[in-house]
Amino acid sequence: MFNNVTLIGYLGSDAESCTTRNNSTLTALSLATKRTWKNRETGARELQTTRHKCVSFGRTAEYAATLTKGAHLQIIGEIQTREYVANDGAKRSVTEIRVQRITRLDRAPKAENPEGAAA
């Protein structure tokens, strides 16, 4: 079986980190991806944004903790679904991406040209 996902998108909020019981770092990210298409009936461009909950551990989590809202990222990981009991006693499930690798895709800011330099 093969469980692999690659997402490219923007962070919707700053990374949130905490320390687990075994003293490892856990960081949660909210990655927004967009899908566009042309509506066949109206001819208008449609846009759908999906937010993905991503979790990372260890060294990947330590790096992820430095990321801020708006960062352009590629995330590689696997889809996992887990169940938990909420504070109200109800059994709930959540599907999230367990991050294996993060790559920043932000472009470096353009340096200003010194006077007299060709543009």
Divide the 119 residues of the chain into consecutive groups of 10 and give the mean pLDDT of each group: 93 94 93 94 94 96 95 96 93 96 82 52
pLDDT at 8: 97
Four-residue CA torsion sign, 56, 60, 65, 69: negative
Predicted local confidence at residue 119, as pLDDT:
45
Residue owning tokens 């330099």:
117
C-alpha–C-alpha distance, residues 49 and 16, integer Å: 21
pLDDT of residue 31: 97
The full set of domains in the chain, from first to last, is 5-38+45-104 (2.40.50.140)
11 class by beta-carbon count within 10 Å (0-12 exposed, 13-18 middle, 19+ buried): buried
pLDDT at 1: 72
Which pLDDT belongs to residue 35?
94
- Angstrom distances, CA of residue 79 to CA of 42, 45, 53, 104, 110: 35, 30, 10, 20, 36
In this prediction the pTM is 0.79
